[in-house]
A and B are shown apart, each in its own frame.
Chain A
Amino acid sequence: MAYSEKVMDHFRNPRNVGEMTDPDGVGKVGNPVCGDIMELYIKVKDDTIVDAKFQTLGCGAAIATSSMVTEMVKGQKLDDALKISNSMVAEALGGLPSQKMHCSVLAEEALQSAISDYRSKKGLK
């Protein structure tokens, strides 16, 4: 098993890492028993994600997909962001080893959870 150079780059230098003060939406997925936990924070303005940050406990693939998804959602309309699938995240990273594809699901789920958190807070649901 080997990771792509892009995965290793995002693992080594994760983008948008850290906790967001006063986020508009938070997505928390995974659990410590599986070994992967991701928290995704989003800032929303005019139905557009203007900032995203994350904190992740997990393997190289989990950290890299977290980093990548925060890059992908910035500047996206919420409805467009919801269309981002785990395979799109994996593809943006130059692919993931097959047994690591489930890690990219974490990123997709965290994103959906953060958007639905934002919408329910706003009473939009």
Chain B
Amino acid sequence: MGRIYLDNNATTPVRPEVVEALAGMLKGCYGNPSTLYCVGHEAHVEMERARDIMAGILGCNREEVIFTSGGTESDNIAVLGAARANRKKGNHIITTKIEHHAVLNPCKALEKEGWQVTYLPVDEYGMVNPADVERSITSGTTLISIMHANNEVGTIQPIAEIGKMAKARKITFHTDAVQSFGKLSVNVNELGADLLSASSHKIYGPKGVGLLYVRKGTKILPIMFGGHQERSLRPGTENVPGIVGFGRAAELMAAEGPAEEARLLKLRDRLWEGIKAKVPHVKLNGHPAMRLAGTLNVIFEYVEGESIILSLDEHGICAASGSACTSDALEPSHVLAAMGVPPEKSHGALRMSFGRENTEEDVDKVLEALPKVVEKLRSFSPIYKDFLRQQTA
């Protein structure tokens, strides 16, 4: 049974060209890039080549690219580092209710240290209203952190508009672009971002590496202390093979450009149209148009998400859920809750996210399996039975 991997927003398979780049580094290029002799210099050259690729994609200078251990670290440095560096100016942060926990939890930590945080609401499509951002700005606002595209539902935020607002008010603006980097345009000047987080393993690169773009002149403090690496903002010997792999992955994404996004969009819409035609009582989560090409989040009413995932796994299909039962926290999705989805419905949410290995054939196989799975689970769902009774009554 072939595996159909539909959880590319969680992580992606490392692509062969990246494996090759990584293997080349691991085998022959072990030097510490901070050293002066030839072995170290070789590593430094490879790492700086990756930095140049990133600078090209971001439309920035190479000195503005800081390599980190991943999206979570980038978000933490951005939020904690920018907030603390501006402490004398003010202690107010604006973010949203739908951020990744890598932004939400640093904000919560800052609240305990005396910061005020505004968590902006979103509309039913998961979209932030820039007017809400404007209204929330106070004289003490020093940081705005709003994600570019949401990981659960894929909604793309009006970042450029918010960026302009932040710039006019001289407020540091961070965007978590972990889901959009390599997929959407992330030119930092067009977005108006002072800080931007990205991650390697979402774009077919290795895990454990990411980047933080830091606009020249942005006030920011490190959260870790050590050597001078990465402008002392991220001390510690760099993950050189990882960085080179990340660079290769980003380079390939940039070369493929919008063609691959258009292909994913077709697959995603084929799946959604098929689900709508074959399964009753379903609802799409996320914005109908302003949404990542590969992200499809659907509520199947009267069933629970984890049971769908386990059943799909029996068919070799890997997907994710918004259900509380799939998380250790046992809390339903905070993103769907912010979009006004009641918990009894968000338990039935399924996220299917496409990637470069997916084909039309995969979509058709899912459309074979999924309706049967949902039908089976509904056949012994007490709330579906009650619903059917109400219909006939």
Contact = CB atoms under 8 A, between A and B. Distances in A.
A55 B310 contact: no
B307 A37 contact: no
A63 B382 contact: no
B382 A28 contact: yes
Contacts of B385: 19, 55
Contacts of A17: 379-380
Nearest to A28: B382
Given A35-B343, A35-B347, A59 B383 contact: no
A11 B307 contact: yes
Given A8-B310, A12-B314, A55 B381 contact: yes
A119 B267 CA distance: 56
Contacts, number: 76
Given A35-B324, A54-B380, A55-B380, A60 B330 contact: no
B344 A33 contact: yes
A18 interface: yes
A58 interface: yes
Given A28-B382, A54-B380, A57-B382, A35 B323 contact: yes
A57 B300 CA distance: 12
A contact face: mostly helix, strand, loop, or mixed: mixed
Interface in B305-349: 306-307, 310, 314, 323-326, 328, 330, 332, 342-344, 347
Interface string A90-105: 0000000001101000
B67 interface: no
B332 A35 contact: yes
Interface string A1-27: 101000010011010011100000000
A61 B325 CA distance: 9
Nearest to A63: B307
Contact of B306 (A37, A59, A102): A59
A38 B307 CA distance: 14
B325 A57 contact: no
A56 interface: yes
B303 interface: yes
Nearest to B306: A59
B190 to A, nearest CB: 41
Nearest to B346: A35
A123 interface: no
A37 B310 contact: no
Contacts of A54: 380
A98 B218 CA distance: 45
Interface in B287-314: 302-304, 306-307, 310, 314
Contacts of B323: 35, 59
A11 to B, nearest CB: 6
Contacts of B384: 57
21 contacts: A11-B307, A12-B314, A14-B380, A17-B379, A18-B379, A19-B385, A28-B382, A34-B343, A35-B332, A35-B347, A55-B380, A55-B381, A57-B381, A57-B382, A59-B306, A59-B310, A59-B323, A62-B304, A62-B307, A62-B325, A99-B330
Task: For the complex of A and B, list the 7 residue pairs with the smallest distance between their C-beta atoms, beginning with the closest.
Answer: A32-B344, A59-B325, A35-B347, A59-B306, A57-B381, A55-B382, A39-B382
Interface of A: 1, 3, 8, 11-12, 14, 17-19, 28, 32-39, 54-63, 99-100, 102
Given A17-B380, A35-B332, A57-B382, 18 more contacts: A18-B380, A32-B344, A32-B347, A33-B343, A34-B343, A35-B304, A35-B324, A36-B304, A36-B325, A37-B381, A37-B382, A56-B382, A57-B303, A57-B304, A58-B304, A58-B325, A60-B310, A63-B307
